[in-house]
Amino acid sequence: MISLDLNFNILTRDLSHYLENQVKVGLLGSGVGLSLVLGFSAAYTCYYLISVAKKPQLISGGRKFNQFLREQCPVVSETYYPTFWCWESRIQTLLRPFVTAKPGVVYRNELIKAADGGQISLDWFDNDSSLSHPDPATRPTVLLLPGLTGTSRESYILHMVQQSRDLGYRCVVFNNRGVSGETLLTPRTYCAANTEDLETVIEHIQRTHEAAPIMAAGVSMGGMMLANYLGRKGQKTCLKGVVVFSAGWDVFECTASLEKPLDRFLFNSYLTSCLQASVHRHRPVLEKSYNIDHVMKARTIREFDERFTSIMFGYPTNDDYYHDASPVHRLKSVQVPMLCLNAADDVFSPSHAIPVEAVKQNPNLALLITCHGGHIGFLEGLWPRQSTYMDRVFKQFAKAVIEQGSRLKDLSR
């Protein structure tokens, strides 16, 4: 044993001597180690600047809207530099909730009645300290719609509230039924296809602040709901403009993408469990109408929709629901200026399903596509804590719609 230990010590001593004196691999030395680090850094920087950092693609159905966006929203023409250490789509999607700050926002909650006897929770940020719009009667209002299981406390919603506050605007967040702590009074929740609750909310906002201009922003499923609403209403809406982030345009393609093994593991199963948790919280009122035990055994969003959502909203099959929930079929009927931001690498909304051709046929639509950004990611900067590319798009477009909205009339010219 002593002989083995001695031989081992001699071997390690000789190896250390060789590395220190012959190869010089110390990180701070002048040999191979430092050369490798510098070489890798240079190669990575070149790859990032050539293949990752790119200007977004702006597609619009008319020259007038395109020109308006380039003049009033310079962000649409600027190179998007994703955070260099996490530009991959899944990493951006997963990290955003953890690395971005959550600005402190104090809401005023309001519960309003729905036609079926249910209640809808609205979280208001009144911004009474606004200097640019001190009169609450005319203070512009921004309606915000969170994603599938999101609430007014999501970081991306809080960032948009903060941006609106800086502009002097009022915000109101439309929380889908049953997700923000309120009691579910009727056996009904929400889905991307049904816009009745959204119509109730918009009408309520308009009645409450008749003289104030209103615009809206929707994220993920909230964006899908907004797009479906605009497609149904045409010109019969009070919204002056809409911006949509990371919307899924074709639900069939979105669902298929999320059922791929890696994305099912990272996202699908988690979102399904979140949906089931909401159902479980309201089980006493829901189990009278639905087989909750069967719903709780779902393992994917598709299975959840087959067992719960499509049944709740009266669709013959889940495919009928998915077709009706896909905004791509209603884009031709949108009559309000709508800007849509999608990342080409978003696994929730795959690039081949982004409705480029449909957008080209409607002068009221514009589509901004970045090469990277993931799903509601769009992280940028060395440490993307305070602001994202998505935040900048929102702030510039909101300001343009509210302050230059007269230029957006009759975009078909």
Residues that are catalytic: 220, 346, 375
Strands (E), 11-86: 57-60
Is residue 43 within 8 Å of residue 370, measured between CB atoms?
A: no
Asked whether 103 and 171 are in contact (CB, 8 A), the reply is: no
Q: What is the dihedral of CA 290, 294, 299, 301, to 10 degrees?
A: -20
Please give the Cα distance from 351 to 357 (Å, whole number). Answer: 13
HSE-CB at 375 with a 13 A cutoff on CA atoms is: 22
Q: Are strands 57-60 and 365-370 parallel, antiparallel or unpaired?
A: antiparallel
Hey, how many other C-beta atoms are within 10 angstroms of the C-beta on 390? 27
Question: How would you list the strands of the sheet with 338-343, edge to edge?
Answer: 57-60, 365-370, 338-343, 239-245, 214-219, 141-145, 170-175, 119-125, 108-113
CB 395 within 8 A of CB 78: no
What radius of gyration, in Å, describes the C-alpha atoms of the chain? 25
240 in helix, strand or coil? strand
**Angle separating helix axes 63-72 and 389-404, nearest 10 degrees:** 110
Helix H segments across 149-210?
Answer: 155-167, 196-208
Report the Cα 31 to chain-centroid distance in Å. 47
Q: How far apart are CA 235 and CA 336, in angstroms?
A: 7
CA distance 34 to 26: 7
Question: Both tokens of residue 208?
Answer: 């409450």
